[in-house]
Chain A
Amino acid sequence: AQSVTQLDSQVPVFEEAPVELRCNYSSSVSVYLFWYVQYPNQGLQLLLKYLSGSTLVESINGFEAEFNKSQTSFHLRKPSVHISDTAEYFCAVRTGGTSYGKLTFGQGTILTVHP
Chain B
Amino acid sequence: DAMVIQNPRYQVTQFGKPVTLSCSQTLNHNVMYWYQQKSSQAPKLLFHYYDKDFNNEADTPDNFQSRRPNTSFCFLDIRSPGLGDAAMYLCATSNPGTAYEQYFGPGTRLTVT
Contact = CB atoms under 8 A, between A and B. Distances in A.
Interface stretch (B12-20, B60-68, B69-77, B98-106): B98-106
B102 A43 contact: no
Contacts, number: 55
Given A43-B90, A44-B90, A51-B99, A107 B41 contact: yes
A94 B42 contact: no
B interface majority secondary structure = strand
A94 B100 contact: yes
B100 A100 contact: yes
Interface residues of B, number: 25
A67 interface: no
A108 B109 CA distance: 19
Contacts of B31: 100-101
B104 A44 contact: yes
B55 to A, nearest CB: 7
Contacts of B48: 100, 102
A106 B55 contact: no
B76 to A, nearest CB: 14
B45 A100 contact: no
Interface of A: 32, 34, 36, 41-46, 49, 51, 90, 94, 98-103, 105-108
Interface of B: 4, 6, 31, 40-43, 45, 48, 50, 55, 88, 90, 92, 94, 99-107, 109
Complex A-B, nearest 3 residue pairs according to Cβ-Cβ distance, in ascending order? A101-B100, A105-B42, A43-B104
